[in-house]
Amino acid sequence: MRIDVVTIFPEYFGPLDLSLIGKARASGLLEVGVHDLRTWTHDVHRTVDDSPYGGGPGMVMRPEPWGEALDALVAGGRGEPAGGAPGGGVRLVVPTPAGEVFTQAMAHDLAAEQRLIFACGRYEGIDQRVLDHAATRMPVTEVSLGDYVLFGGEVAVLVMCEAIVRLLPGVLGNADSLAEESHAHGVLESPVYTKPPEWRGHPVPEILRSGDHGRIARWRRDQALLRTARRRPDLLAALDPGTLDKRDVAL
């Protein structure tokens, strides 16, 4: 997969060199390009924003630098990868609090793409025509991290990159981690423990040390369901009843 990020703060993306994303890049599973939007400005102040039509507070990101940035990334130019057929295999992802809320299912969909371009908004966001024009040549997805407002899209893009990249085949040492975790099957994961068996008066639940894999699996399932019921009743309500066994229902 190749990920390109356009931002006015390229420094935000230092963490993409670290940890498992850094390793995925080093091993060739992932290519990343981080681009300064101001590269595509032409005035001495490298301006990317202007006041909003219709009035109101704040500034809006102007369409011209965004248009040129997307042209370059899609078609190749300014040292960027040639995109083959215009728009071929590229999806534009735009973080915005007005978008569809990001979920694990969306992370799976995005992980299946060959190329993603992330457009980081600042101020009051990006001129809508940038998205409308981009949609004439590639799929565009507007994504919200949740019901709150950040200063800019950079942190949202880092979050999405982590969620997406860990789903790419070969990135996680043990792919079973993906099958067991929260949101893999519509419920939250049960609590986890490691050594020592007792710490500050808190013992590890006896059953986890029993060696009885059947009972351990059942305990984990019970804990996962109880936790989900307490913390995320919305997830529980959305579970397919066909995935529940008799004991689940009794809980």
Residues of this chain that interact with ligand SAM (CB under 6 A) are: 95-98, 120-122, 124-125, 144-146, 148-153, 156
Structure tokens at 178: 């993906």
Q: How far is the CB of 108 from ligand SAM (least distance, A)?
A: 19
| 14 annotated ligand binder | no
Give every CB contact of residue 111 below 8 A, 6+ residues apart in sequence: 1, 164, 165, 167, 168
Q: How far is the CB of 109 from ligand SAM (least distance, A)?
A: 17
Q: How far is the CB of 103 from ligand SAM (least distance, A)?
A: 13
Which residue in 213, 191, 211 sits closest to 203, CA to CA?
191
Q: How far is the CB of 121 from ligand SAM (least distance, A)?
A: 2
Question: How many CA atoms lie within 13 Å of 78's alpha carbon, on the beta-carbon side?
Answer: 15
Of the two residues 96 and 141, which places its CB atom closer to ligand SAM in the complex?
96
The answer to whether the CB of 150 falls within 8 A of the CB of 38 is: no
| 208 annotated ligand binder | no
Would you call 202 helix, strand, or coil by DSSP? Answer: strand
Q: How far is CA 98 from the centre of its chain?
A: 16
Of the two residues 53 and 148, which places its CB atom closer to ligand SAM in the complex?
148
| 149 annotated ligand binder | yes
- Rounded to 5 degrees, φ, ψ at 173 are -60, -40
Of the two residues 131 and 165, which places its CB atom closer to ligand SAM in the complex?
131
| 22 annotated ligand binder | no
**Residue list, annotated binding site:** 121, 145-150
**Residue list, annotated binding site for S-adenosyl-L-methionine:** 121, 145-150
